[in-house]
C-alpha cells in the first residue's frame, strides 16, 4: 500500500504543494496534520507508523515534513526500516527501494547505529556498576505461546501494535522486540 504523510505547522499554512506530491505517487491512504514537528509526539505520525506494514511505501513531500531534528528523522527512518517499509521523499528525490535511496537510508541508518552503539555502551557501563553494587538483577524473557495468531491479525490490520501490546499485557518496546525475533525466526525456517 502507498501511504502518504502531509504536515503543516499551523492552520494558516497551505498543504496544497504536498497534496500534489501525494497525487503524483498515487497515495492510497493519507495521514494529515497541522502541528509543529518540534518532536515526534504527533497523532497522525504515530497512527501512520502503527498502520504501515511490511512492503508498504511511505511518501512525504520532503524530510522536514517528517521531522525537524536529525535525531527524530533517524528514529522514524529506523522504525520504517524495521518494518520493511520503503520511504520516498519527493523533494530530496530519495526512494529507499532504489539503489541510491538504499545508500542514503544505509548512511542514515549507520549514523543512527553509531549513536545507538554509544548509548548502549554507556548503558552497559551503568549496568556493570549497578551489578557491582548489587542493584541490578536483569529481566526475565517473555514467551507468548500463540504469538503467530496475534502477528497474523496485525499483518491483516485487525490489530495495531498498541492493541496487540494491550491484549498481550506487555509494553510496546517488548512487543517490538518480540516481533523482530519472530520475523527472524520465520525467515530462518524458510
Q: How many domains does the chain have?
A: 2
Of 9, 89, 97, 139, the catalytic one is: 9
Domain containing 153: what range?
147-189
Distance, CA of 57 to CA of 2 (rounded, Å) = 5
| Same domain membership, residue 84 and residue 12 | yes
57 forms bridges with which residues in the sheet? 2, 86
Write out pLDDT tens, residues 38-62: 888 899 999 999 999 999 999 999 8
| Same domain membership, residue 92 and residue 31 | yes
Write out pLDDT tens, residues 13-24: 888 999 999 999
Backbone angles phi, psi at 73, to 5 degrees: -60, -45
pLDDT for res 109? 64
Domain end, chosen from 67, 102, 137, is at: 102
| Same domain membership, residue 8 and residue 73 | yes
* pTM of model > 0.75: no
Residue 165 lies in a domain: yes
| Same domain membership, residue 177 and residue 95 | no
Closest by Cα among 7, 105, 1 to 60? 7
CATH number for the domain spanning 84: value is: 3.40.50.1390
Q: Is 97 a catalytic residue?
A: no
Residue 121 lies in a domain: no
Write out pLDDT tens, residues 61-72: 988 888 887 788
Amino acid at each position: 500500500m502507498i501511504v502518504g504523510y502531509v504536515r503543516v505547522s499551523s492552520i494558516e499554512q497551505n498543504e496544497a504543494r504536498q497534496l500534489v506530491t501525494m497525487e503524483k505517487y498515487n497515495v492510497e491512504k493519507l495521514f494529515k496534520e497541522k502541528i509543529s514537528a518540534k518532536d515526534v509526539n504527533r497523532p497522525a505520525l504515530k497512527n501512520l507508523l502503527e498502520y504501515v506494514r511490511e512492503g508498504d511505501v511511505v511518501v512525504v513531500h520532503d524530510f522536514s515534513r517528517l521531522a525537524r531534528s536529525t535525531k527524530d528523522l533517524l528514529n522514524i527512518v529506523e522504525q520504517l526500516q524495521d518494518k520493511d517499509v520503503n520511504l520516498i521523499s519527493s523533494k530530496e528525490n530519495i526512494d529507499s527501494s532504489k539503489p541510491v535511496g538504499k545508500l542514503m537510508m544505509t548512511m542514515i541508518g549507520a549514523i543512527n547505529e553509531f549513536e545507538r552503539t554509544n548509548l548502549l555502551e554507556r548503558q552497559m557501563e551503568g549496568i556493570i556498576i549497578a551489578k557491582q553494587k548489587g542493584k541490578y538483577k536483569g529481566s526475565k524473557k517473555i514467551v507468548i505461546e500463540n504469538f503467530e495468531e496475534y502477528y497474523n491479525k496485525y499483518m491483516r490490520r485487525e490489530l495495531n501494535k498498541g492493541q496487540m501490546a494491550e491484549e498481550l499485557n506487555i509494553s510496546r518496546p517488548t512487543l517490538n522486540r518480540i516481533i523482530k525475533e519472530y520475523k527472524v525466526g520465520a525467515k530462518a525456517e524458510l
